[in-house]
């Protein structure tokens, strides 16, 4: 699988007449099983870029291609996870994971086997009959991840999924996500505000400038996993990425 973002730009009309440039000439390619983080200052168009890749928004120019085919509408090969989990409160954990499979017409025995598989993968065995309001924030986010994975997307798109969590839960979920990624080898595009999170998770970090967002640099992270946040190499990459972002924050 190759995902190609090809000269993508996005402009919005504000107040019926003023044109606001959100993204400018974004181009990069994502290879099969890569973990890519998208990082940049607030308002640089990170979420807009992810929504265009998902087929939820349209670009003003340019295109997104998967294996040469244009993505211009929601596609089952692209799974999207939002910051607010978007779980159905009236469904159990099992019911939430099963929902996408039910929409695909999957047989009941296959749904049960898939649900059990992903509950085990996420360390949630025994919580299948619980409702979302009975789970911690971190557990709800793990359910959101495996619900998206259960329908076997080719690419998983994650929009600041850990942003609302406390530091301890966020750190734990970063480890959990890497564990799930290493077991499934799904391609992941992950939007974050956190430089530390990006350096801990990513194979490559796509650093965007302030609005209109364009690529300042694509930073490779070649440290072996699990990564030591206290290492000299981790600090060196983190410092470089911070400098890139600070260079692109406009003076008020």
Is residue 105 domain-shared with residue 146, that is, in the same domain? Answer: yes
Same-domain status, 174 and 246: yes
Is residue 141 domain-shared with residue 180, that is, in the same domain?
no
Q: Are residues 203 and 167 in the same domain?
A: yes
Helix (H, G, I), strand (E, B) or coil at 141: helix
pTM recorded for the entire structure: 0.92
**Whose CA is closest to 141, among 123, 117, 116?**
123
Whether 56 and 169 map to the same domain: the answer is yes
Is the CB of residue 7 less than 8 Å from the CB of residue 28?
A: no
* The two structure tokens encoding residue 105: 């017409």
What total of structural domains would you count in the chain? 2
Q: How confident is the model at residue 162 (pLDDT cuts 50, 70, 90)?
A: confident
- In tens, the pLDDT along 199-220 reads 999 999 999 999 899 999 999 9
Q: How far is CA 1 from the centre of its chain?
A: 17
Q: What is the mean pLDDT of residues 127-145?
A: 92
Residue 30 forms part of a structural domain: yes
Examine the pLDDT at 16 and tell me if it is beyond 70: no
Same domain, 130 and 14: no
Query: 40 with 164, same domain?
Result: yes
152, 171, 193: which is the final residue of a domain?
152
Which residues neighbour 232 within 8 Å (Cβ) at sequence distance 6 or greater? none
Please list the residues that pair with 156 across neighbouring strands: 79, 188
Range of the domain at 198: 1-77+157-252
- Two tokens at 187? 């391609």
Instruction: Encode 76-105: b = buried (16+ Cβ within 10 Å), e = exposed.
Output: ebbbbbebebebeeeebbbbbbbbbbeeee
Cβ atoms of residues 176 and 122 within 8 Å:
yes
């Amino acid at each position: 699988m190759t995902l190609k973002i090809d000269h993508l730009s996005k402009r919005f009309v504000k107040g019926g007449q003023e044109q606001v440039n959100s993204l400018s000439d974004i181009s990069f390619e994502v290879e099969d099983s890569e973990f890519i983080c998208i990082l940049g200052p607030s308002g640089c168009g990170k979420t807009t870029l992810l929504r265009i890749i998902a087929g939820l928004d349209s670009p003003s120019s340019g295109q997104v291609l998967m294996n040469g085919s244009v993505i211009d509408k929601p596609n089952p090969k692209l799974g999207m996870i939002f910051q607010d989990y978007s779980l159905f409160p009236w469904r159990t954990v099992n019911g939430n994971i099963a929902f996408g499979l039910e929409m695909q017409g999957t047989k009941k025995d296959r749904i049960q086997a898939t649900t059990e598989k992903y509950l085990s993968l996420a360390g949630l065995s025994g919580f299948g009959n619980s409702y979302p309001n009975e789970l911690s924030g971190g557990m709800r986010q793990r359910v959101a991840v495996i619900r998206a994975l259960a329908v076997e997307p080719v690419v998983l798109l994650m929009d600041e999924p850990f942003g609302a969590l406390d530091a301890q839960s966020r750190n734990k979920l970063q480890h959990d996500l890497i564990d799930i990624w290493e077991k499934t080898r799904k391609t992941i595009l992950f939007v974050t505000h956190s430089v530390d999170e990006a350096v801990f998770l990513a194979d490559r970090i796509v650093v965007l400038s302030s609005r209109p967002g364009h690529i300042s640099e694509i930073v490779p992270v070649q440290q072996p996993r699990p990564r030591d946040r206290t290492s000299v190499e981790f600090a060196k990459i983190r410092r470089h990425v911070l400098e890139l972002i600070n260079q692109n924050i406009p003076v008020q």
